Amino acid sequence: MPGEYLIDFFRDEDGDGRFSPGRPFPWQPAERYTLYPDTIRVRSRWPNEGNDLLLPE
């Protein structure tokens, strides 16, 4: 769909398909979460290239 998008994503480290916020006991850190810093513009019938999403280590 054409438009402008903000993208957020997470690394599903436990493989359950959902974001895990972590817990204090027993200790489990939250999964890594990133908000892409720019707006992605999608235009109808145009190629979308150069929008590589990289999650910091």
State residue 43's pLDDT score.
Answer: 86
Query: Would you call 28 helix, strand, or coil by DSSP?
Result: strand
- 7 in Cβ contact with 53 (< 8 Å): yes
Task: Give this prediction's pTM.
Answer: 0.57
pLDDT in tens, 1-57: 889 999 888 889 999 999 999 999 999 999 988 888 888 888 888 887 776 777 666
